[in-house]
A and B are shown apart, each in its own frame.
Chain A
């Protein structure tokens, strides 16, 4: 269930002056020049295009929506139609330097297995996701008593593709459980700016609207 790329990627974005999405630029920052990259849930190929143009990567993508795939292929990107939950198993070990999961983790059926496959297929995994621990979401649930809807997460509970929300703190715990090492992490506030790097995790978990992690296999 890699999903919603085209629509939601349009809906929830903060765009930098160059008009690329801020979170995509943060993800792209974490990828080395010339690396072999697999973008899982690559949508219409925006991130792959940025990576190809600015980092000269050898990029591939998987995308669940037919429209997304066909747009990517028509752009000359190497993208296949597939599902993160079922199709990552087909990739051999160490096939890529980086496996990227951008704004897709919360839409997978088996986030833990997906993450484990990512670290098996790639030396590094880069994961970006919306933080369900953000203060606005906490307040909405506390005071309204209803499932929170925000600009970033506009769906109602009954039609959302997002079935596995987590907070930054939850994600760190999952990393620990599967033995993944957190190499770098960035949290972005509601305006798309980076939170202070030396802020404590509880601060990120409260004020980060989205987070980007670069993971490696633990020792």
Chain B
């Protein structure tokens, strides 16, 4: 692990935790004691704040708002430069002027989810009762809690009905929760590469990641921010493991094969001889710069707990009963984290509810991450679906 250690020392002073309270390049709304967030865990979170970004212009009738829900390690910086990594927005190919989710046409909102670490209240935020970071005193949150908080943000912004809500992976789970919890507030929904429940295999992968974090001596029972340590190695290993699940055997083979990294021959050591090892180490290192380890525990837990049908007597179709929302489900052939069969289950339930549903499976070898990448067929489908919905909604080409 010599390479990891070397690079980690460089990342030592990264701004990950400071973003938790005072996010840069973001808007913030604070909800006081009069507006608590009622959590599924049975407690109120109050006060709390939501960090968000908007792109485009809300029209006079307030009918062109699109909510983007981010994935596990995403954030509100969907289509603009990230303040910590200085990289482009995580969905800049999808969201922006002239993009499929066209910010010249739609008013795009993206909020950091509850429990995350980029400015919305989470375990790295300051607990007002103690004046110290919450750590593991932060209540366990669910996908439904994230959506409830987003609904409060929309109330604050004076947006009654969303034209559309879109997201992939954990973002797709939020989209499904939106369609189930607030059908009257969602005109069109785009759940991509997701499922209505987390499978046993996915829970298992998450547990490995959490154990890696908790096994890091610097984790200190979740009190690392108070004790001035940081479980970087644990979090990096969690990210490395998870990252493999976002790709596919074919994609890894295409990108790296068995090639050596900057060397002709094996070193007969545990150095990162292979390109794929070096790549994964890099993924782990760059992740810890911008992410909080406890947030990783909380958000993976929220995904594990997600089981939409369970809230409706085990019948998924009841979650979408009489829905008027137009829904477009998208999956990818090589996604083994959220395989097409999971999307088909959503479609079956929507059919049984007689919902207006579209479903497309896109052929790609890029695995789960395909939803974030340059996939022209995905762009065409999202654009076509939103155009059709905009026509039905009576939205003009420009606000």
Contact = CB atoms under 8 A, between A and B. Distances in A.
A95 interface: yes
A9 to B, nearest CB: 19
Interface string A66-79: 10011011111111
Given A74-B381, A78-B356, A90 B351 contact: yes
Interface string B336-376: 00000000000110011010111111110000000000000
A76 B388 CA distance: 4
B359 A76 contact: no
B391 A76 contact: yes
A81 B360 CA distance: 6
Q: Which of B348, B360, B387 has the most CB of A within 10 A?
A: B360
Given A73-B328, A73-B381, A80 B352 contact: no
A34 to B, nearest CB: 14
Given A76-B385, A76-B389, A70 B362 contact: yes
A54 B357 CA distance: 22
Contacts of B44: none
B239 interface: no
Contact of A81 (B361, B384, B387): B361
Nearest to B363: A66
Interface string B12-42: 0000000000000000000000000000000
Contacts of B384: 73-76
Interface string A89-118: 011100100000000000000000000000
Interface string A36-69: 0000000000000000000000101000001001
Given A70-B377, A73-B385, A91-B352, A78 B361 contact: no
B360 A69 contact: yes
A58 B352 CA distance: 17
A72 B356 CA distance: 14
Q: Which of B328, B383, B384 has the most CB of A within 10 A?
A: B384
A187 to B, nearest CB: 33
Interface residues of B, number: 26
Contact of A80 (B347, B383, B385, B391): B347
B352 A92 contact: yes
A72 B358 CA distance: 9
Contacts of B357: 60, 78, 80
A58 B355 CA distance: 11
B352 A78 contact: no
A141 to B, nearest CB: 40
B358 A80 contact: yes
Nearest to B392: A76
A70 B362 CA distance: 8
Contacts of A78: 326, 356-358
B380 A70 contact: yes
B388 A75 contact: yes
A79 B357 CA distance: 7
A80 B377 contact: no
A87 B391 CA distance: 29
Contacts of A75: 384, 388
Nearest to B340: A81
B51 to A, nearest CB: 33
Contacts of B362: 70
Nearest to A66: B361
Q: Which of B328, B354, B357, B363 has the most CB of A within 10 A?
A: B354
A60 B328 CA distance: 12
A91 B351 contact: yes
Interface string B133-151: 0000000000000000000
Nearest to A72: B358
Q: Which 9 interchain pairs have the tightest Cβ spacing?
A: A76-B388, A74-B384, A80-B359, A74-B380, A73-B358, A73-B381, A95-B354, A73-B360, A70-B360
Interface of B: 326, 328-329, 347-348, 351-352, 354, 356-363, 377, 380-381, 383-385, 387-389, 391
20 contacts: A58-B356, A66-B361, A69-B361, A70-B381, A73-B360, A73-B385, A74-B384, A76-B388, A77-B388, A78-B326, A78-B356, A78-B357, A80-B329, A80-B347, A81-B360, A82-B347, A82-B359, A87-B351, A91-B354, A92-B352
